[in-house]
Amino acid sequence: MAFSFEILHTDGRARHGRMHTPHGVVETPVFMPVGTQAAVKGLTPRQVADAGARIVLGNTYHLALRPGDDVVAAMGGLHRFMGWDGPILTDSGGFQIYSLAPTRKITDEAAVFRSHIDGSLLELTPERAVAIQENLGSDIAMCLDECPPFGTAPDYMAVAVRRTLLWAKRCRESHKRADQVLFAIVQGGFDLALRARCADELRALDFPGYALGGFSVGETAEQMAAALVPTAELLPAEKPRYLMGVGRPEDLLAAVMAGIDMCDCVLPTRNGRNACAFTDSGQVRIRNACHERDPAPLESGCGCYTCVHFSRAYLHHLFLAKEMLGPTLLSLHNVAFYCRLMADIREAIARGQLGKLQEARLARWRGSL
Amino acid sequence: MAFSFEILHTDGRARHGRMHTPHGVVETPVFMPVGTQAAVKGLTPRQVADAGARIVLGNTYHLALRPGDDVVAAMGGLHRFMGWDGPILTDSGGFQIYSLAPTRKITDEAAVFRSHIDGSLLELTPERAVAIQENLGSDIAMCLDECPPFGTAPDYMAVAVRRTLLWAKRCRESHKRADQVLFAIVQGGFDLALRARCADELRALDFPGYALGGFSVGETAEQMAAALVPTAELLPAEKPRYLMGVGRPEDLLAAVMAGIDMCDCVLPTRNGRNACAFTDSGQVRIRNACHERDPAPLESGCGCYTCVHFSRAYLHHLFLAKEMLGPTLLSLHNVAFYCRLMADIREAIARGQLGKLQEARLARWRGSL
């Protein structure tokens, strides 16, 4: 098995580690840009790598629908298909069934839903979720989980956890691919007892990595930070811990301080497409008129292609002129910003100064709001 | 003056030359990708250069309207603004007044038109067209011309030529910038006598380069090729000859064989955005279902980033999934295709084998239609 995880340094609950995968080594904590449909939106794989990303995420639900995992497999797997030879993590589709599919019926056997593309009726079982991800050939696959939205009634949350556990077992049993590892997902919302039960049962199955699901929508930064510390502790210390779909820069800091090793989020690319850039002095809305004649880069000191070559005035112009290069250049910077934040975090952990880093960054980010 | 032009080889009427500009040397015949709004649509300057482009075009009309030539000047000029440190040619806005501005009134004094962006009433004089281009700081500026559409009545065409001559003189008189050259534009439609008169009068003014305008819309390939040979001959042999806004790959070949040194056209990027790729075996419509599982690159043997890294199946998927990376990757390939065609043409001229190259290419391109 080409997969392993080692912890190099700790600072409080935070860990600086190294994850070995069949497609290379990833330093953790790591941010994974989202390549939903086999592309990080607006960026070439070369631009994604130049921005500092080492591992990207692909979405099982989207890729199974289009182009189809059989097509991706026939084209040599997801790495070759999308031209990314670094590690790839694929999610299981559980989250998308709730967030995207317009009608659904979930039983212990399967999730039945309508495609958001053509309305056709589809079925996802744990076995099928694993088979799709084996076809895609990601380095890290995820168990199919049931991920009800924020605010779901506690009674139903218990049902979802029971089903998530049942499905995790079936995923584990059906998973065959030796050059791919399967991570489990802990659900349970903000009910710590439920999370603890879910984590205990999943730990007994000894997965090579564990994720926290259900934190990505609806919660405030404070709610999330408070819930994360006790929840992350439920996961085995020697395995990578992945917080799914989170989040803002301040959330990443909170997650790492709670002991999280991996994060993914669409924010850098989504905000980039919408003319919003993350910088160490807070968010920059590049359409604002104040940037019309601003010769400064988005973020001074940033070494990304966008900041080295272009002024705010130019980026402002691109968005007003509806040039697609604007979304590309802001997405590129935002991915670089997230990756640089994680690199700074890793260095701070190694030096035992993560608390100082958090304090300084939060002060700067908040001061600019 | 940092501008000069030398002819290295000839083959029939075709010339292989070298143009020295304040921002570097350009081998001719050359294709210039169009960066209308200070961006070659969908591509970073790095991608444009990697595709083999050495000189790009900017549109005076668009840039004067947005962001404004004063903004570009304040940001250090067009090269710095758009992050392109190679040579830039700017057109004069004459063509856009006819093709884009919804209402217009043209007198000897000025062209008055409505902005296609906000409907405001604007005026373009020869002096203003020069001043805008001096603000932009392009290496090569163009005289303001009157460019009536294909099919204009002969009587009016004579008026347009008279006005184009009048404006060329005024442009020449008002042009001051020492690190920029001003090219004249020959108009006259398909009336060779009118073209000859226009060319003669412009030659007397001794411009450092001459362009043929009015060939870019409405004509068939045969009409254009037949009209080009006698028209190109009207231009001084020792100066660069620029055919504006043309065209398809077969048009570029015909133009070079008529003695043209420079071409620009939006086709590579426009077709690329519309899922249509140029290849040496003809055009590829990448949305077609036949590409769904095609592991081949767009064009085998092509060394562009797109062809080296991605299959037709992947590009097909990107367009069906509406990923903006699709338009980017096809635009990149198309620009590379045009630049490679011109490089092949230059080599063929040097070897005295341009006729053979034309014959072979036309046979291949037509065979694939």
Measure the CA–CA gap between A264 and A246, rounded to whole angstroms.
6
The stretches of B88-125 forming alpha helices (DSSP H) are: 94-99
**Residue A182 dihedral angles phi and psi, to the nearest 5°:** -115, 120
Instruction: Verify whether the Cβ–Cβ distance A316 to B76 is below 8 Å.
Output: no
Q: Where are the beta strands (DSSP E) in chain B?
A: 4-11, 14-21, 24-28, 30-33, 56-58, 88-90, 104-106, 111-114, 121-124, 140-142, 181-186, 210-212, 241-243, 262-265, 276-279, 282-285
Q: Which residues contact A290 (CB under 8 A, 6 or more apart)?
A: none
Q: Where are the beta strands (DSSP E) in A162-214?
A: 181-186, 210-212
E strand or H helix at A275, and its extent? none
Q: Which residues contact B293 (CB under 8 A, 6 or more apart)?
A: A71, A74, A75, B313
Residue B76: its chain A contacts at CB < 8 A?
Answer: 295
| Interface list for B 200-259 with A (CB within 8 A) | none
If DSSP codes are grouped into helix, strand and coil, which group holds residue A10? Answer: strand
Q: Where are the beta strands (DSSP E) in A79-221?
A: 88-90, 104-106, 111-114, 121-124, 140-142, 181-186, 210-212
Q: Is the peptide bond before B149 cis (omega within 30 degrees of 0)?
A: no
Measure the CA–CA gap between B278 and A155, rounded to whole angstroms.
59
Q: What is the pLDDT of residue A1?
A: 56
What percent of chain A stands above pLDDT 90? 85
B330 touches chain A (CB under 8 A): no
Higher pLDDT, A366 or B133: B133
Q: Which residues contact A222 (CB under 8 A, 6 or more apart)?
A: none
Q: What is the pLDDT of residue A252?
A: 95
Q: What is the pLDDT of residue A218?
A: 64
**Residue A16 dihedral angles phi and psi, to the nearest 5°:** -110, 120
Instruction: Verify whether the Cβ–Cβ distance A313 to B81 is below 8 Å.
Output: yes
**Residue B88 dihedral angles phi and psi, to the nearest 5°:** -130, 135
Q: Is the peptide bond before A22 cis (omega within 30 degrees of 0)?
A: no
Q: How many CB pairs under 8 A join A and B?
A: 118
Facing residue for A325 by CB, picked from B42, B321, B323: B42
Average pLDDT over residues A11-25: 98
Average pLDDT over residues A106-119: 92
Q: What is the pLDDT of residue B368?
A: 65
Q: Which residue of A has its CA nearest to B45?
A: A309
Work out the minimum CA distance from A24 to partner chain B, whole angstroms. Answer: 19
Measure the CA–CA gap between A205 and B98, rounded to whole angstroms.
72
The pLDDT tens digits of the residues spanning A331-359 come to: 999 999 999 999 999 999 999 999 999 99
Q: Report the mean per-residue pLDDT for chain A.
A: 95
A325 touches chain B (CB under 8 A): yes
Report domain extents, chain A.
272-369
B85 touches chain A (CB under 8 A): no
Type of residue at A232: A
Q: What ipTM was assigned to the predicted interfaces of this complex?
A: 0.97
Please give the span between the terminal C-alpha atoms of chain A, in angstroms, as a whole number.
47
Work out the minimum CA distance from B320 to partner chain A, whole angstroms. Answer: 8
Could you tell me if A161 and A187 are in contact, meaning their C-beta atoms sit under 8 angstroms apart?
Answer: yes
Looking up tokens 């009726």, which residue turns up? A121
Of the candidates B229, B236, B158, the one whose C-alpha atom is nearest the C-alpha of residue B197 is B158
B292 touches chain A (CB under 8 A): yes
Q: What is the pLDDT of residue B184?
A: 98
Active site residues of A: 91, 264
| Ordered per-residue pLDDT tens for chain B, 369 residues | 589 999 999 999 999 999 999 999 999 999 999 999 999 999 999 999 999 999 999 999 999 999 999 999 999 999 999 999 999 999 998 888 888 777 789 999 999 989 889 988 889 999 999 999 999 999 999 999 999 887 888 899 999 999 999 999 999 999 999 999 999 999 998 899 999 999 999 999 999 999 999 887 667 778 888 889 999 999 999 999 999 999 899 999 999 999 999 999 999 999 999 999 999 999 999 999 999 999 999 999 999 999 999 999 999 999 999 999 999 999 999 999 999 999 999 999 999 999 999 999 999 998 765
Facing residue for B327 by CB, picked from A305, A309, A324: A324
Q: Which residues contact A303 (CB under 8 A, 6 or more apart)?
A: A336
The pLDDT tens digits of the residues spanning A160-214 come to: 999 999 999 999 999 999 999 999 999 998 899 999 999 999 999 999 999 999 8
A63 touches chain B (CB under 8 A): no
Q: Which residue of A has its CA nearest to B70?
A: A293
Q: What is the pLDDT of residue A82?
A: 98
Q: Which residue of B has its CA nearest to A308?
A: B83
Facing residue for A75 by CB, picked from B37, B313, B323: B313
Any idea what DSSP says for residue A18? E
The verdict on pTM exceeding 0.95 is: yes
The pLDDT tens digits of the residues spanning A237-260 come to: 999 999 999 989 999 999 999 999
Instruction: Verify whether the Cβ–Cβ distance B38 to A316 is below 8 Å.
Output: no
Of the candidates B270, B216, B237, B263, the one whose C-alpha atom is nearest the C-alpha of residue B40 is B270
Q: What is the pLDDT of residue B103?
A: 74
Pairing of strands A181-186, A4-11: unpaired
Higher pLDDT, A281 or A220: A281
B352 touches chain A (CB under 8 A): no
Work out the minimum CA distance from B67 to partner chain A, whole angstroms. Answer: 6
Q: Which pair of tokens denotes residue A123?
A: 């079925």
Q: What is the pLDDT of residue A181?
A: 98
Facing residue for A324 by CB, picked from B41, B67, B74: B41
Burial class (CB in 10 A: 0-12, 13-18, 19+), A109: exposed
**Residue A289 dihedral angles phi and psi, to the nearest 5°:** -60, -25
Of the candidates B40, B4, B49, the one whose C-alpha atom is nearest the C-alpha of residue B139 is B4
Q: Residue A103 above 90 pLDDT?
A: no
Looking up tokens 């000029």, which residue turns up? B77
Could you tell me if B86 and A319 are in contact, meaning their C-beta atoms sit under 8 angstroms apart?
Answer: no
Residue A309: its chain B contacts at CB < 8 A?
Answer: 45, 83
Q: What is the pLDDT of residue B100?
A: 79
Any idea what DSSP says for residue B124? E
If DSSP codes are grouped into helix, strand and coil, which group holds residue A240? Answer: coil
Q: What is the pLDDT of residue A321?
A: 98
* Residue B294 Cα to chain centre, angstroms: 33
Type of residue at A10: T
Looking up tokens 């952990």, which residue turns up? A349
CATH number for the domain running over B4-261: 3.20.20.105
Q: Residue A219 above 80 pLDDT?
A: no
Residue A324: its chain B contacts at CB < 8 A?
Answer: 41-42, 324, 327-328
Q: Residue A234 above 60 pLDDT?
A: yes
The per-residue b/e assignment along A111-142, b for 16 or more CB within 10 angstroms, e otherwise, is bbbebeeeeeebebbbbbbbbbbbbbbbbbbb
Residue A272: its chain B contacts at CB < 8 A?
Answer: none
Residue B310: its chain A contacts at CB < 8 A?
Answer: 83
